[in-house]
Amino acid sequence: MGHVVRGVTYRARQNGRQSRFGWLLFISAVNLMLWSAVIALIARAT
C-alpha cells in the first residue's frame, strides 16, 4: 500500500489543479487502511 500512497502524492504534486483530488484519494486510502486495521483487530478479539 505504501507505493500507492507515494504515487498519489507524486501525481498531486505534478498536477496543481488536481491537488485537491489527489488529497481526497490520499485521505480515502488512509481511511481504508485504518478501517481495515480496526476490522482486523475486532475480528481477532472476537
Helix (H, G, I), strand (E, B) or coil at 32: helix
Q: Whole-angstrom Cα distance, residue 35 to residue 18?
A: 26
Q: What's the pLDDT band for 2 if we cut at 50, 70, 90?
A: low
| pTM (2 d.p.) | 0.49
**4-45 pLDDT tens trace:** 667 666 766 666 666 777 788 889 999 999 999 999 999 999
pLDDT at 11: 66
Which cell goes with 25?
Answer: 484519494
Number of domains in the chain: 1
Expressed as residue numbers, the domain containing 33 is 2-45
Distance separating alpha carbons of residues 11 and 6, to the nearest angstrom: 9
